[in-house]
Amino acid sequence: MTMPAFEISKTFEFSASHRLSGLPADHKCARLHGHNYTVRVQLRGETLDPVGFLLDYGELSPVRDWIDAALDHQHLNACLDFNPTAELLAQHLAGTVRQLVPIPDGVRVAVGVSETPRTWAFYREAEAAQ
Ligand SMILES: Nc1nc2c(c(=O)[nH]1)N=C([C@H](O)[C@H](O)COP(=O)(O)OP(=O)(O)OP(=O)(O)O)CN2
Ligand SMILES: [Zn+2]
Structural contact between residues 127 and 103, judged by C-beta atoms closer than 8 angstroms: no
130 is a domain residue: no
107 is a domain residue: yes
128 is a domain residue: no
pTM for this predicted structure: 0.95
Structural contact between residues 40 and 112, judged by C-beta atoms closer than 8 angstroms: yes
| Candidate list 7, 13, 73, 79, residue with the active-site label | 73
60 is a domain residue: yes
* 73 is a catalytic site residue: yes
The CATH number linked to 94 is 3.30.479.10
50 is a domain residue: yes
Q: Is ligand 1 within 6 A of the CB of residue 86?
A: yes
Q: Which domain holds residue 103?
A: 6-23+31-123
Interface predicted TM-score (ipTM)? 0.94
Number of domains in the chain: 1
> In whole angstroms, how far apart are CA 99 and each of 32, 56, 58, 93?
30, 17, 16, 10
77 is a domain residue: yes
pLDDT digits (tens, 9 = 90+) for 66-105: 999 999 999 999 999 999 999 999 999 999 999 999 999 9
